[in-house]
Amino acid sequence: MPSRITCEVHDESPVTVVRLHGDLDLGTMRTVHDALDGCLASQPDALVVDLTDITVRDRLALSVFAAVARRAAGWPAVPVVLCAPPGEAATWLAQSTACRVVPVRRDCGEATRVANAAAAPRLRARLEPVAEACRRARELVTDACARWNLPETVGPASLVLSELVGNVVRHAGTPMQVTLTLCRPYLHLVVADGSRTSVRTGAGDLRAEGGRGLMLVRETAQRWGSAPAGDGKVVWAILPAN
């Protein structure tokens, strides 16, 4: 049975725009959640959700946008902005305490400007699964911290990102996308690879490049985690930006 809602994705770099069409209710909100979650996995600078063509059948279903926005604030540090909610939906969004975490604007143009203004500084790089990738990861941290004036963050961030990259080299063996994002008061580190294999949390070989294990990430980062992303996964960590 086809879904009663569709999600049309437009990659209008650096902002991704998702236009929803159809009925939003408790039965279709999972479709919306999964579509927006998939968009966030590609780590755009911002995400705009256009509600012009939806009919809200159950006001509780609007909570899906608050859930997505809260998730995006932690990883991948992407602002989410809604636009053009029809009639009653606009009133419900304004009245909902949960949905106040998501900005709402009257049209897509205004929402895109707000999203762009809220976007955090990012540094991205594509790395191959080779031993030199860990050294390159440390260089990226040094570059980012110099640009953003974070001298005290260089050491711990280099350690964490080197381990995340090293874990991909040792266990996933796929090319990876590395993203550093400054979202004060934190620095977000994300490594996306092409393997669905769960991250390894053992201590590892202390003599290996980046081989002190993800236990070290757990001890150093404020928070860290992993999530499926497309055909692979992302592993992320958040550190204080000093």
The helix/strand/coil state of 64 is helix
Question: Is pTM beyond 0.75 here?
Answer: yes
Position 2 scores a pLDDT of: 52
Which architecture characterizes domain 5-118 according to CATH? 2-Layer Sandwich (3.30)
Q: Where are the beta strands (DSSP E) in the chain?
A: 5-12, 15-24, 46-56, 80-83, 104-105, 122-127, 176-183, 186-193, 223-229, 232-240
Cβ pair 103, 124 in contact under 8 A: no
Q: Which two tokens stand for residue 221?
A: 């980062």
Q: What is the pLDDT of residue 3?
A: 66
Top-tier CATH class for 122-240: alpha beta
Q: 212: pLDDT confidence band, cut at 50, 70 and 90?
A: low
Cα dihedral 134→135→139→140 (10° resolution):
-20
> Domains of the chain: which residue ranges?
5-118, 122-240
User: Residues near 135 by Cβ (< 8 Å), separated by ≥ 6?
Assistant: none
pLDDT in tens, 113-154: 999 998 899 999 999 999 899 999 999 999 999 999 999 999
Q: Within 10 Å of residue 124's Cβ, how many Cβ atoms?
A: 12
- Residue 120, both tokens: 């955090």
